[in-house]
Amino acid sequence: MATPGTEYPLHIVDAFTKVPFEGNPAAVCLLQNDTDIKDETKSKIASEMNLSETAFVSCATPDTNFSRADKFILRWFTPTVEVDLCGHATLATAWVIFHTTNNQHRELKFETRSGTLSAMRKGDSVSLDFPRFPPRPLNADERRLLQPVIDICCGSVGDDSVLEVSLSPDTYKLLIRLKDDVNVSQLKECIVFPDHLLAQDTGGLIKGVILTLKGSAENGAVDREGTPYDFVSRYFAPWQGIAEDPVTGSSHTVLAPYWSEVLHKNMLYARQCSKRGGDLLLTLHPNNRIEIAGHARIVMSGKLML
């Protein structure tokens, strides 16, 4: 348990980008033991950071340290709740361990609410091994209940812009695919008011909404070098205290299996086109797992003083 005056290393990392101030920022706090800070205090720290997630990572065994260990306990807190899975903060955590602690392991294991996750060095990037959670079509009752949410998310691109709607019951994420003739600029300009979403009775079916669109050069879904993305997306989760998440690893555990089936591809290049934006390389493996690879930049390092 922390005593007054205790200090802990704290880093702010932009994940899924090579460029500072893009991608998705996460705070990463290094603890020797998870019990060093009470959960109530973790929640207050996450609120103080006011980022979509703050990660708290500790060594899985107390007789080692961050430079020698390859097994860790990892937890993620939004400004309001603890969450079961967070991709960008996992990438940020692995990046911090690999780049600031002199840890020479090729692979790190994280024990989390979603089971054991691994992070591996992959050239100059980090690759995450995550479960995948394919969505299924809505039934009639779910469609009727969630139609107001669909209307709120797609109102600015028109009611006839929706091609398909599905639900990932494992992650409580609603996936809304827009028609192929919608362009990336229209997706970026969609205005989604979080208060309007929170006011809807969703029956507890969803905790987040994904808007997604097939990528092509014709609709403007290309990177800085002109390479087309396979798909692009945005993600909204006001039910978890996140109005819009800049880049979301966990949403791609739903998106990747969906688009893999649509495009008949097991390797996908994706863009989350929030204002900050970020790129993800996705590989689907036959063991019902997904590899999510990306870069990160540490933009601030300091100490948390309690």
Q: Taking 70 as the threshold, does the pLDDT of residue 188 lie above it?
A: yes
- 122 and 154 fall within a common domain: no
Retrieve residue 232's tokens: 């692009």
- 187 and 252 fall within a common domain: yes
How confident is the model at residue 2, as a pLDDT?
A: 58
Q: What is the mean pLDDT of residues 254-275?
A: 97
- 283 and 141 fall within a common domain: yes
The string of pLDDT tens digits covering residues 12-58 is 999 999 999 999 999 999 999 999 999 999 999 999 999 989 999 99
Q: What is the mean pLDDT of residues 101-105?
A: 96
- 199 and 180 fall within a common domain: yes
- 182 and 102 fall within a common domain: no
The string of pLDDT tens digits covering residues 150-170 is 999 998 887 789 999 999 999
**Cβ pair 206, 146 in contact under 8 A:** yes
- 87 and 142 fall within a common domain: no
How confident is the model at residue 156, as a pLDDT?
A: 80
CATH number for the domain spanning 258: value is: 3.10.310.10
Q: Taking 70 as the threshold, does the pLDDT of residue 3 lie above it?
A: no
The string of pLDDT tens digits covering residues 113-136 is 999 999 999 999 999 999 999 999
Retrieve residue 161's tokens: 């812009």
Q: Is 22 a catalytic residue?
A: no
Q: Taking 90 as the threshold, does the pLDDT of residue 63 lie above it?
A: no
Q: Taking 80 as the threshold, does the pLDDT of residue 5 lie above it?
A: no
Measure the CA–CA gap between 199 and 219, rounded to whole angstroms: 33
The larger pLDDT score, comparing residue 149 to residue 241, is at 149
Does residue 1 lie within any of the structural domains? no
Retrieve residue 82's tokens: 């603890």
Return the amino acid letter for 239.
W
Does residue 268 lie within any of the structural domains? yes
Annotated catalytic residue within 22, 53, 142, 291: 53
Measure the CA–CA gap between 200 and 51, rounded to whole angstroms: 25
- 105 and 185 fall within a common domain: no
- 100 and 162 fall within a common domain: no
- 125 and 216 fall within a common domain: no
Measure the CA–CA gap between 18 and 278, rounded to whole angstroms: 9
Q: 62: pLDDT confidence band, cut at 50, 70 and 90?
A: confident
Chain-wide mean pLDDT for the chain? 94
Measure the CA–CA gap between 69 and 61, rounded to whole angstroms: 8
Q: Taking 90 as the threshold, does the pLDDT of residue 211 lie above it?
A: yes
Does residue 2 lie within any of the structural domains? no
The closest of 86, 96, 88 to 279, measured between CA atoms, is 88
Long-range contact set of residues 54-57: C-beta below 8 Å, sequence gap at least 24: 54/26, 54/27, 54/28, 54/29, 54/89, 55/26, 55/27, 55/28, 55/29, 55/86, 55/89, 55/90, 55/92, 55/93, 56/29, 56/31, 57/28, 57/29, 57/30, 57/31, 57/93, 57/97, 57/110
- 44 and 154 fall within a common domain: no
How confident is the model at residue 234, as a pLDDT?
A: 97
- 196 and 154 fall within a common domain: yes
Does residue 155 lie within any of the structural domains? yes
Retrieve residue 152's tokens: 């709120």
- 152 and 242 fall within a common domain: yes
216 lies in which domain range?
A: 136-287
- Report how far apart, in Å, the C-alpha atoms of 126 and of each of 3, 14, 20, 121, 143 are: 35, 13, 17, 5, 38
How confident is the model at residue 67, as a pLDDT?
A: 96
